[in-house]
Amino acid sequence: MHSNHLLLEEPIRMASILEPSKSNFFPAMTKIVGTLGPRSRSVDVISGCLNAGMSVARFDFSWGDADYHQETLENLRTAIKKTRKLCAVMLDTVGPELQVVNKSGKAISLEVDGIVTLTPDQGQEASSQVLPINFDGLSKVVKKGDTIFIGQYLFTGSETTSVWLEVDEVKDEDVLCVIKNSTTLAGSLFTLHASQIHIDLPTLSAQDREVISTWGVENKIDFLSLSYTRHAEDVREAREFLSKLGDLSQTHIFAKIENVEGLTHFDEILQEADGIILSRGNLGIDLPPEKVFLFQKAAMHKCNMAGKPAVITRVVDSMTDNLRPTRAEATDVANAVLDGTDAILLGAETLRGLYPVECISIVGKICAESEKVFNQDLYFKKTVKFVGEPMTHLESIASTAVRAAIKVKASVIICFTSSGRAARLIAKYRPTMPVLSVVIPRLKTNQLKWSFSGAFEARQSLIVRGLFPMLADPRHPAESTNATNESVLKVALDHGKASGVVKSHDRVVVCQKVGDASVVKIIELED
């Protein structure tokens, strides 16, 4: 592969740049995760978010109690029924997050070159001189010259609500720091990040375990975002904890990489996790700014080759208060798509931002434009080469389906799957057309009652680029006869027609199991 190989296919014609963007049924193949909070928890706003393209709703337990989040979730369910758009639920743990305890909630102003003391004594009042914190081990792990960041939403670039401190002296349990920039800390919650320092706290805190085993189980969460994942062991522990909870044994664990420690063990973490969230906010301050694009590209590539979803955060910070992103942010979203990201995660932008719906809509449009010029051909070759030979049965079917679809210019790939794995593998080869993943429910029993699996599997594809799930009717056990397979296919095609993805004379590639054999077939639609 030559380094001068253009990332984009063919010279981009200026004419296509000047044409207005077309609206599509699938606004973009890249998915959008929205964090629901104060500005985005009414049925109306959530409905707007779903219509604009949000397919996963994130509940961040760093703030707000279970009742608050439950209320939001009930509103989400109402909005799903109202808009008829599927949406998955992600629970984000707090993890070993260090926080400043500001009981009075008063704003705290800090002056450059002044000294402020960080103390584990939470009985003290937060002030310009003293900041009480929720961790008593800080003095044992930092030394003179170390860097500490504190803020409501750490350093976004245009951020004036964060402070950068340099450790000056450690006195017993207190840490005295020199203030490097003047700022006013305002708001209820300030997180503290000690750059490149190992904080000896469990990845799943007692509070996290409590929330998962109550709120998480009650609501059968689809995804667990494991904050501050530092080792593969963290993921294994979380998996063991979930499997003991019965109902959550199918929940997918996304390892959230937030510091250098997580990057150091990235390969092992990727093997254990179901997906990766690159928390660029924290990574961006744990590492020097010039390294940000590098870890993003390297991590994306590894996730893509493993066929596991990659999600990035902190893309349009400025939209928290503005109706338009900056030029740099718009370019950044596009580059993430060209790098191979599966989903874009919005935090503050939807949680407390003024324009949650517009934000999702704009991010979706940028993704759609970048997908048009994504160099699928090069990506496909790289992936096939990386997978190597002999290929597993499933990989071979998946790559064949995508190749056939591209060669015959199919408008959609329809994949029958019960676990969702086959559909995810097809998405791994990044076809240029949407993949309708028809999840065939399986009848299962726990000795007490019969139930159908399938809803979990369908929702879990809502974070994978290019995958659009639909549940087949469980009254047709599709394994039984070919005739029922045909009827399910007809339903899928009707769905495709109704949504405008498929029209007459289009070609469609179908991937399904018939008996023990996997079949890839090309069908041409009549009028």
Q: How confident is the model at residue 1 (pLDDT cuts 50, 70, 90)?
A: very low
Q: Give residues with Cβ within 8 angstroms of 304, minimum separation 6.
A: 310, 340, 379, 383, 428, 430
Look up residue 423 and give its two tokens: 């559909």
* Residues 172-185 pLDDT 10s: 999 999 999 999 88
CA dihedral 373, 376, 379, 385 (to 10 degrees): -160
- For residues 206-217, give the mean pLDDT: 96
Task: Give the CATH architecture of domain 96-192.
Answer: Beta Barrel (2.40)
User: Mean per-residue pLDDT for 137-150?
Assistant: 93
Distances (CA, A) of 164 to 111, 153, 216, 285, 393: 11, 13, 35, 10, 53
- Is residue 241 a contact partner of residue 74, using CB atoms and an 8 Å limit? no
417-469 pLDDT, tens digit per residue, is 888 899 999 999 999 999 999 888 777 776 776 767 778 888 999 999 999 99
Cα 130 from Cα 118, distance rounded (Å)? 6
How far is it between the farthest Cα atoms of the chain?
Answer: 80
The H or E element containing residue 438 is strand 435-439
| Whether pLDDT at 223 is above 80 | yes
Lowest mean pLDDT among 236-240, 284-288, 297-301, 354-358: 284-288
Indicate the class that CATH gives domain 23-94+200-370.
Answer: alpha beta
Q: Is the pLDDT of residue 78 over 90?
A: yes
| Higher-pLDDT residue of 226, 291 | 226
Q: Are 425 and 398 in contact (CB under 8 A)?
A: yes
**262-271 per-position pLDDT tens digit:** 999 999 999 9
> Which three-class secondary structure state does DSSP give residue 127?
coil
Q: How far is CA 43 from the centre of its chain?
A: 22
Q: What are the two backbone dihedrals, phi and then psi, of residue 52, each rounded to the nearest 5 degrees? A: -80, -15
- Output the pLDDT for position 514: 77
Region of 404 on the Ramachandran plot (φ > 0 left; ψ -120 to 50 alpha; else beta): alpha
- Give the pLDDT of residue 11: 53
Residue 512, token pair as written in the block: 């399904």
155: left (phi over 0), alpha (psi -120 to 50) or beta: left
Going by pLDDT thresholds of 50, 70 and 90, the confidence category of residue 156 is low
Confidence band of 105 (pLDDT split at 50, 70, 90)? confident
For residue 143, give both structure tokens.
């030394």
The angle, 0 to 180 degrees and rounded to 10, between the axes of the packed helices 356-372 and 43-52 is 10
What's the token pair of residue 321?
């208060």
Between the two ends of the chain, the Cα-to-Cα distance in Å is 44
pLDDT surpassing 80 at residue 165: yes
Q: How confident is the model at residue 15 (pLDDT cuts 50, 70, 90)?
A: low
C-alpha torsion sign, points 6, 10, 15, 19:
negative
Instruction: Tell me the CATH number for domain 374-523.
Output: 3.40.1380.20
Q: Above pLDDT 70, what percent of the chain?
A: 91
Q: What is the dihedral of CA 434, 439, 440, 446, to 10 degrees?
A: 170
Q: What average pLDDT does this structure show over 131-149?
A: 93
Domain ranges across the chain: 23-94+200-370, 96-192, 374-523
pLDDT for 261 beyond 90: yes
**How confident is the model over 107-116, as a mean pLDDT?**
94
Q: Given pLDDT bands bounded at 50, 70 and 90, which one contains residue 33?
A: very high
Query: Residue 41 — pLDDT band, cuts 50, 70, 90?
Result: very high
**What percent of the chain is modeled with pLDDT above 90?**
67
Q: What is the mean pLDDT of the chain?
A: 89
Residue 119 has pLDDT above 60, yes or no: yes
Spatial separation of the C-alpha atoms in residues 492 and 508, rounded to whole Å: 11
Q: Calculate the CA 346 to chain-centre distance.
A: 9
The predicted structure's pLDDT at residue 387: 95
Specify whether the CB–CB gap between 118 and 177 falls below 8 A: yes
Tokens at residue 462, please?
A: 């809502």
Q: Would you tell me the crossing angle of helices 327-339 and 292-306 to the nearest 10 degrees?
A: 30
